[in-house]
Amino acid sequence: MSSISPSQTTVSPREIFTKPRVSDRIFRGVLNVMSFSSLAILTLIGSFLMLRGFQTFQSEGLHFITGFDWNSTVNDGVETSTFGLGSMLIGTLLISGTALVIGVPLSVLTALYLNFYAPMQIRKFMITILDLMAAFPSILYGLWGYFILMPMAEYWAKLLNKYLGWIPAFSVPQPAFTRSPFVAGLVLAIMIIPIITSVSREVFSQTPLDRIQAAYALGATKWKMIKTVVLPFGSGGVVGGAMLGLGRAMGETVAVYMVLNIAFSANLKVLYGVGGNVASMIVSRWGESTLLESKALLAAGFVLFMMTLVVNFLANFIVKRAIKSGK
């Protein structure tokens, strides 16, 4: 034993080498290429957006992020323009924030129900339904939101405004309740429920059994056990799941485009029918954009790309840490 201790320097560990077979090396090579291709594609998309939008970043500078006006006019072949993405960034945050406020509690309660209360059959059935919801094309949510949810949400919005209008976020300058960030947030909330529920369920199910038993053995009811053991254990995972949901909500295009009145105005009033997010704004402007504006839209795309990337990275980090550490 003592001969391999590091204090005696005469012996160094042997290098252990396994010569792989040719077939194994080919397979490994193919896997390497395949797995790095997604990284390559991501990098290419990012650089493409960056390069194409570069001119806008250069001419607008910081105004591109902080400015609220977005105009481009062509007079006698000379294009004059100013591009500020500020109102859309505010809109993005407002809409996805609304989606989280509505979606997270619903998801956490659903996850708790599925993990701790639902009978086995219902649990399996519900999980299938939720997976299906996650895979649904967003245009369907948009259509449903437009025809079904919007009239109902308008009524709820009026109620909120009537009773909670003294809170600045729930006030409106004019009674225009349709196509508001609130409606878009509702649609998005429904779209992000599957992902947040799924992550929360995963984390809750990792709760150590001995802690659950300890709580029950002390005379806890199920709810008390959940409050004392499961929620503290799973809180990190819920935050991570919410971030993943946020990532999806920020990038959502079609559903928001259908239910929102997209306008460049720095609107912080969630019930007021004016707003927009970066993704849906790009779609709405793309068809009629001038040369300069199309570059600005690509620059906006780059901003969205970075935001989504950062949020998703953070989310993955938090979820992984929450599952591994188990506090």
Partner 1 sequence: MSDEMKDGENMSTANVTGSKALSDVAANRMKDRMPGTTPIGTGLEARNIHAWFSKHLAVEDVSLDFNAGTVTALIGPSGCGKSTFIRTINRMHEFIPGAAMAGEVLLNGEDVYARGVDVTKIRLKIGMVFQKPNPFPSMTIGENVLSGLKLAQLKVANKDDLMEDCLERAGLWSEVKDRLGAHAGGLSGGQQQRLCIARSLAVNPKVLLMDEPCSALDPGSTLRIEETIHELSKTMTIIIVTHNMQQAARVSDYTAFFLSDGGPGKLIEVGPTSEIFSRPRDQRTENYVSGRFG
Report if residue 156 touches partner 1, rule: CB under 8 A: no
In the complex, minimum distance from the CB of residue 118 to partner 1, in angstroms, rounded to a whole number:
13
Nearest-approach distance from CB 239 to partner 1, in angstroms: 15
Tell me, residue by residue from 225 to 264, as one string, x for binding to partner 1 by CB under 8 A and - for no binding. x--xx--xx-------------------------------
Pick the stretch among 72-80, 182-190, 208-216, 250-258 that binds partner 1 (CB under 8 A).
Answer: 208-216
Give the separation between CA 236 and CA 254, rounded to whole angstroms: 31
Size of the site for partner 1 (CB under 8 A): 20
Amino acid at 11: V
Q: Pick the stretch among 15-23, 90-98, 206-214, 239-247 that binds partner 1 (CB under 8 A).
A: 206-214
- Residue owning tokens 């792989």: 20
Q: Which is nearer to partner 1, 144 or 216 (CB)?
A: 216
Q: Cβ 321 to partner 1, closest distance in Å?
A: 15
What is the spatial distance between Cα 246 and Cα 211, in angstroms, rounded to a whole number? 31
Using alpha carbons only, how large is the chain's radius of gyration in Å?
A: 26
Q: Nearer Cβ to partner 1, position 125 or 136?
A: 125
Say whether residue 48 binds partner 1 (CB under 8 A). no
What is the DSSP code (8-state) at residue 61? T
Q: Write the CA distances from 78 to 56, 81, 143, 262, 288, integer angstroms.
A: 16, 10, 40, 27, 17
The SS3 call for residue 75 is strand
Instruction: Tell me which residues in 15-34 interact with partner 1 (CB under 8 A).
Output: none
Amino acid at 267: N
Binding-site member from 205, 213, 309, 317 for partner 1 (CB under 8 A):
213
Which stretch of DSSP H or E encloses residue 38?
A: helix 22-60
